[in-house]
Amino acid sequence: MKKITLIMALLLTAGMSMQAISDSVSSLRGGNDIDNDSTTTPAKKYNKDGEPIARDYVQQPPLIPHKITNYRINLKSNKCMSCHSWADYREAGATKISQTHFESRDKHVLANVSARRYFCTQCHVPQVDAKPLVENEFTPITAISGQQ
Amino acid sequence: MSNKNSKECNDMILCRIWQVLKKPSVTYSLGTLLVVGFISGVLFWGGFNTAMEMTNNEDFCISCHEMEDNVYQEYKQTIHYSNRTGVRATCPDCHVPKEWNHKVVRKIQASNELLHKALGTIDTREKFEGKRLQLASNVWKAMKKTDSRECRNCHNFEYMDFGEQGRRAVKAHSEGLDAGKTCIDCHKGIAHELPDMHDVDPGSSIGDI
């Protein structure tokens, strides 16, 4: 009988402390009850087409300075390449795709874009006008920024 | 009926009917005939145009699964289905000319499409994809020939505000159109997924790897 009371008491305290923990944790939707509407932040809009965005370091994948809504990339076609390929960049006035993108994993240079560079938006992303979440004091080297 | 004529006709039934039709009416006045002719003309004409209109809306276009399962699903992701202002472009807006004479020609061509519907030429996704380059090329060719007439029914270049357009659009529109290009040269795939583009623009598709 004593044993059972002890176990019961233990379970009770465990249950209560669990309750305390779950009260202090706030999930991504905040402390809202499940049947309340959560507060939504308005969706950010992508910037309009602009000039190329300055790079911060040499190896950085350049940011996309234009809208890419509805640009499809699949095995049949790649919308980005219709402007950035060597065949099309002049007419489109676009930056020609980097030569490094023709290299396979084993450093073989291929005749067309390498499969590991085919899905452009893995690395290149368009921008929204948003405040940085944390302070960032990074400054590019002078060879890039041109400023002492 | 003169004896001479019926003798020539003998037993040929079509010939007999023609003889009757040729004979001037004795029972009906010219006025009645004109009125009846006019009314049935209106009815026929109205019916014809109604049939054209009934087959000229989105519901009809996607009433067969070939269209509903393939192009329609893709089109639903694009700007002409859902956008800021809620103005839509439906299938016939882009695929059927507005002018009456061009419209009739397109509708007659559509009978070929009905034949292939019956044959099941594109009745699976795989078959559809297999034929897609050919289907798309037909549309491109037609639009090239008409200087993208159907696009221009809604988009009038004269009234585009370059101040509102994006940087790339302004550049392409001011240079490209002067160089003799038309909308479809630059806006392929505006409403559907593209076919395998390897043969059209080898730079924009990975091809066989």
In this prediction, residues A137-141 reach a mean pLDDT of 90
| The predicted structure's pLDDT at residue B5 | 45
The C-alpha atoms of residue A97 and residue B206 are separated, in whole angstroms, by 14
DSSP chain B: --HHHHHHHTT-HHHHHHHHHHSPPSSS-HHHHHHHHHHHHHHHHHHHHHHHHHTSSHHHHTTSHHIIIIIIHHHTTSTTTS-SS-----HHHHHS-SSHHHHHHHHHHHHHHHHHHHHTTT-SHHHHHHHHHHHHHHHHHHHHHTTSHHHHHH--GGG--TTTS-HHHHHHHHHHTTTT--HHHH-TTSSS----GGGT-GGGS----
The C-alpha atoms of residue B152 and residue B25 are separated, in whole angstroms, by 52
Q: What is the pLDDT of residues A7-23, one digit of tens each?
A: 666 655 555 555 545 55
> How many domains, chain B?
1
| The predicted structure's pLDDT at residue B120 | 87
| The predicted structure's pLDDT at residue B1 | 40
Lookup result for tokens 């400054």: A139
Instruction: Kindly report the nearest CA distance between residue A86 and chain B, in angstroms.
Output: 7
Instruction: Kindly report the nearest CA distance between residue A88 and chain B, in angstroms.
Output: 8
> How many domains, chain A?
1
pTM of the predicted structure, to 2 decimals = 0.86
Residue B149 CB neighbours (<10 A): 16
The answer to whether A86 faces chain B, any CB pair under 8 Å, is yes
CA B34 to chain centre: 35
The answer as to whether A140 is a domain residue is no
- Would the CB atoms of A93 and B168 count as touching at under 8 Å? yes
Report the residue of B81, B168, B197 to disrupt the A interface, i.e. the one with the largest count of A CBs within 10 Å: B168
The answer as to whether A100 is a domain residue is yes
Residues 6+ apart with CB under 8 A from B89: B80, B154, B191
Instruction: Give me the interface pTM, i.e. the ipTM.
Output: 0.75
Using an 8 Å Cβ cutoff, are A145 and A139 in contact? yes
CATH at A73: 1.10.1130.10
Smallest Cβ distance to B209: which of A67, A69, A115? A115
Domain coverage including residue A75? 44-128
Smallest Cβ distance to B206: which of A51, A70, A115? A115
The answer as to whether A48 is a domain residue is yes
Q: What is the radius of gyration, based on Cα positions, of chain B?
A: 26
Helix (H) / strand (E) element for A87: namely none
The answer as to whether B179 is a domain residue is yes
Instruction: Kindly report the nearest CA distance between residue B54 and chain A, in angstroms.
Output: 32
The answer as to whether A28 is a domain residue is no
Smallest Cβ distance to A75: which of B78, B79, B206? B206
Ranges in chain B, pLDDT < 50: 1-6
Smallest Cβ distance to B166: which of A67, A81, A82? A67
Report chain A's mean pLDDT, rounded to a whole number: 84
The answer as to whether A4 is a domain residue is no
Domain coverage including residue B169? 64-209
Instruction: Kindly report the nearest CA distance between residue B187 and chain A, in angstroms.
Output: 10
Helix B100-119 / helix B30-54 crossing angle, nearest 10 deg:
60
